Copies of this chain bind each other. A is one copy, B any other.
Amino acid sequence: MRFVIEAIDNITNARVATLETEHGRIHTPIFMPVGTLANIKGVHQHELANDINAEIILGNTYHLFLRPGVTTIEKAGGLHHFMNWNRAILTDSGGYQVYSLSKSRKITEEGVTFKNHINGDRHLLTPEVAIDLQRSIGADIIMAFDECIPYPCEYDYSSRAMRLTHHWLERCIKKKNSKPPLYGYQQYLFPIVQGGTYSDLRAQSARYITEKDCHGNAIGGLSVGEPAELMYEMTESVCNILPKSKPRYLMGVGTPANILECIALGVDMFDCVMPTRNARNGMLFTSQGIVNIKNKKWANDFSQIDENGVTVIDRQYSKAYLRHLFVANEMLGKQIASIHNLGFYLWLVRQARKQIIQGTFGKWKNQMVKKVSQRL
């Protein structure tokens, strides 16, 4: 996996790079829209490519394993073909969803036994199974199987979970190397740094992960309820250890402000359900701040959704119209807001990229963090 750093900010640790996959070049820093069930809710694939301009999206192995199942995805020739998306895809390992969604799960050294949240069937997910499932799905970047812990979590448990994650990583790598990819193009395995909110564990995990010399590295177990400052602290300490020459992916983060702050710490890749989930509840992220479009104040505001909006959608509909759709509970409202928010997130990381190249990132970032966090 070619990862070429093109610019480094002179004040922060922000950097600009390109990452090559066989499904296209990814310009980092990048945000990856979350397409849990082989689609981004409310958004057509051509809108994602042409209007939002996403370069890589995320799929959830746990969800895809349950529906449509890997047999169907294999028959389709992989997830790219199944959903008709020819740009890059990253899949998580299924671990996080097993902890957050399934019932009566039991974690052992072997793996995790759980009942799925759809029909209660019992399954065993192991590092080997997670790699096999991701091989069938066929994402360009696949993730190691890890144990995700909640926040807060005691030191001893955090430490044990981290060690288990490390053991599982060895098995993931072994399994990954045991078979060629299924669809003729490379899949790149990213290991995940764990260690909860304890700096020494995080450092230990980051060093361990670094040694494995994988194509990229991820930071997991953050954005799970801890204060933002703690998330930044952990991210910073981990970024200081993870090799500069490889992409860094901060999993599940975050708000526009979180993303800007973590770009400054040296993170290259992000994913989060926030832009789409909040969109479906009528919360718009705009270049001027946060808009609750259901609010009565927008009832007769016929200005565009976002004056600086970059998507076609932003220029087609007014705030008053979008508010009406939400008040009347029309699905088109959720569609418009989802496209807008994703368009904004991708615009934001593209802007960050430009500012880093220009050498103006630090100042711009501080202004933008304030702007995008205020409620209009």
Residues of A in contact with B (beta carbons under 8 Å apart): 37-46, 63, 67-68, 72, 75-76, 81-84, 299-300, 302, 312-313, 316-318, 320-321, 324-325, 327-328, 330-332, 334-336
Contacts and interface: CB of A to CB of B under 8 A. Distances in A.
Which interface residue of A38, A40, A67, A330 has the most chain B CB atoms within 10 A?
A330
Contacts of A43: 332
A40 B335 CA distance: 12
Given A46-B312, A68-B299, A72-B299, A39 B320 contact: no
B320 A37 contact: no
| Identical chains bound together, number | 2
Given A38-B325, A39-B332, A76-B320, 12 more contacts: A38-B324, A39-B330, A40-B332, A41-B332, A63-B328, A68-B328, A72-B320, A72-B324, A82-B320, A84-B321, A331-B334, A331-B335
B42 A335 contact: yes
A332 B76 contact: no
A72 B325 CA distance: 13
Nearest to A39: B332
Contacts of A318: 76, 82, 84
A330 B300 contact: no
A119 to B, nearest CB: 12
A99 to B, nearest CB: 21
Given A37-B328, A332-B41, A321 B46 contact: no
Contacts of A324: 37-38, 67-68, 72, 82
A40 B327 CA distance: 15
Contacts of A75: 300, 302, 320
Nearest to A83: B321
Nearest to A313: B44
A316 to B, nearest CB: 5
Contact of A331 (B41, B45, B299, B313): B41
A314 to B, nearest CB: 12
19 contacts: A39-B325, A40-B332, A41-B331, A42-B332, A42-B335, A44-B332, A44-B335, A46-B312, A68-B320, A68-B324, A72-B299, A72-B320, A76-B302, A82-B320, A82-B324, A83-B321, A84-B317, A84-B318, A331-B331
Contact of A330 (B41, B327, B330): B41
**Closest 6 pairs between A and B when the two form their complex, measured CB to CB:** A68-B324, A39-B332, A37-B328, A67-B328, A42-B331, A75-B300
Given A75-B300, A299-B72, A321-B84, A316 B42 contact: no
A295 B77 CA distance: 22
Contacts of A320: 68, 72, 75-76, 82
Contacts of A40: 332
